[in-house]
A and B are shown apart, each in its own frame.
Chain A
Amino acid sequence: MAYSAEISRTSPTAILFLLDQSASMQEPFGGAEQRGDAAPSKARVLADVVNRLLQNLILRCAKEDGVRDYFYVGVIGYGERVQPLIRPVEEYRVAGDLVPISHLAERPLRLEERLKKVPDGQGGFIERRVKFPVWFDPHAKNGTPMCQALDLAASMVRTWIDLHPHSFPPIVINITDGEATDGDPLRYAQQLRSFATDDGETLLFNVHLSSSEEPAVELPASVEELPRDEYAVLLFQMSSVLPFTMRAAAEQEGYRVTMDTRGFVFNADPVALVRFLEIGTRPSTLR
């Protein structure tokens, strides 16, 4: 069965994030200003969410004796430039510029102190200072060179697969708020998805961040579930069907899923974004 390879230190998998850094990411999420929120920019929210997700991925791999390399991770930003936002040191360059997660754990850009509410054991909460690692900062400028980003992702994924031909295939998560300004991304998406390990083709999931107050369309199984919007249909076509383990994770989160459910969210607010990332980064049980 495809997408069933166990994930271990000898058989890791790769997770690659593609983050839209175009100028429109400076704006807040749709509806935020009308609600009178302090309304941080989409770029700020996205950087926070992905930094926190990287932290959680590391914690899933951390044991008392160190961080186990179950995952190789990459983050590509696309806007003013198309470039990896986290970089491996020389010794890892062979892995297609994807960073072993232990290496990521040891080298955040900085550690911030933040206040976190934790249960006090008597039904209330207390604030505690916790360290919040940051690997990259928000950035928003120029257009949306999504095709170039998908092309760079394809070359990184291809190199990584050459080194890990039997692993659970790489997971690529593209998060954007706008249309590509450098061509037709469907062709690039199909090329990216065509690279495969013994266990299946590369998975590409897409999250579209909301610029309107329309409700999010989460994990659709057909185009009929989408608004009448060419761009929504395009991103749907670019997205992979969820493999079994992620369908199970989605069901546990309360979604109704079918064999055709795709890893795609249209008009996501921050809550829908976080919820999807939790599902899309659960390939299978770590061993």
Chain B
Amino acid sequence: MDAPLVRTFWLPRAGASPDACEDAFAVRPGWPFAAAVADGATESAFAGAWARHLVQHFCRDLPATPAALQDQLVHWRAAWQPDRLGATSPWYVAAKLEEGAHAALLGLVLHSDGTWQAVAVGDAVLLHLRGKRLLQAWPLDDPAQFHHRPALISSRVEAALPEVEGWRGEWRPGDAFVLATDALGAWLLATDPALPLRLPPEGLAAHVTAARRRRTLRNDDVAAVVVHCPP
């Protein structure tokens, strides 16, 4: 069976440089297929690097259930090494390193037998579409439910393990999934969840930029992975 086809998309918040983007995505091609998006918290240091660390490790280790993700988080935290502290580092850098980095994570695994599994901490959104119709959205399906203090994964080894949500289901040939970080996910739910299926990345970027200008889409970093299941 052919593997799923993928389109990826990311855009830093308006006014920020591309290297300041703290959202991340990763994809594992072939079977089992995996994709993940993560959203680094603005108020933590090294948040973009932590978000990249999480999505890359998800696509390598494929922890597709809440218990498996919690098990893996212990190892991912142990492997996390942000910049070292220098003797002349200011007091706030030491304090930020001690606070750790924080990010939301959403991961999806598709199996060739027609089943899928997903896990999430925080408010990145998974959309399951059939034709142009949204079948279901997780963990939130109402754009009004998004708030500013979602659950996050801490990089600190001593921090309590976060509560992980998990879902599973079946996909049919031609189905599509969209994984999107919170600002984009909320906007897609409020407007047209199938939009990323129809547009190339540059077209989606134009829509996002226009919606930010109209203030219908919160000015935040965005990242998305669009997954087309094989026909």
A282 nearest in chain B by CB position:
B148
Say yes or no: B45 contacts A63, CB within 8 Å.
yes
A94-112 residues at the B interface, CB under 8 angstroms: 105-106, 108, 111
Whether B198 sits at the interface, judged by CB under 8 Å, is no
Q: Which of B43, B45, B158 contacts A286 (CB 8 A)?
A: B43
Say yes or no: B220 contacts A59, CB within 8 Å.
no
Say yes or no: B13 contacts A287, CB within 8 Å.
yes
Contacts known (A59-B99, A64-B46, A287-B220); A105 close to B92, Cβ less than 8 A: yes
Whether B70 sits at the interface, judged by CB under 8 Å, is no
Say yes or no: B149 contacts A252, CB within 8 Å.
yes
B48 nearest in chain A by CB position:
A64
Whether A58 sits at the interface, judged by CB under 8 Å, is yes
Residues of A near B42 (CB, < 8 A) are 285-287
Number of interface residues of A (CB under 8 A): 29
Say yes or no: B148 contacts A285, CB within 8 Å.
yes
Contacts known (A64-B45, A133-B91); A248 close to B83, Cβ less than 8 A: no
Bound Cα distance A286, B20 (Å):
14
Would you give the shortest CB distance from B90 to chain A, in whole angstroms?
7
A64 nearest in chain B by CB position:
B45
Contacts known (A59-B96, A59-B99, A62-B45); A248 close to B158, Cβ less than 8 A: no
Residues of A near B83 (CB, < 8 A) are 64
Q: Which of A62, A285, A286 contacts B92 (CB 8 A)?
A: A62
Say yes or no: B43 contacts A121, CB within 8 Å.
no
Residues of B near A105 (CB, < 8 A) are 90, 92
Say yes or no: B96 contacts A62, CB within 8 Å.
yes
Whether A223 sits at the interface, judged by CB under 8 Å, is no
Whether B211 sits at the interface, judged by CB under 8 Å, is no
Whether B112 sits at the interface, judged by CB under 8 Å, is no
Q: Which of A10, A58, A133 contacts B15 (CB 8 A)?
A: A10
Nearest 4 CB-CB pairs, A to B?
A121-B158, A131-B91, A62-B92, A119-B158
Q: Which residues of A contact B (CB under 8 A)?
A: 6, 8, 10, 55, 58-60, 62-64, 67, 105-106, 108, 111, 118-121, 130-131, 133, 245, 248, 252, 284-287
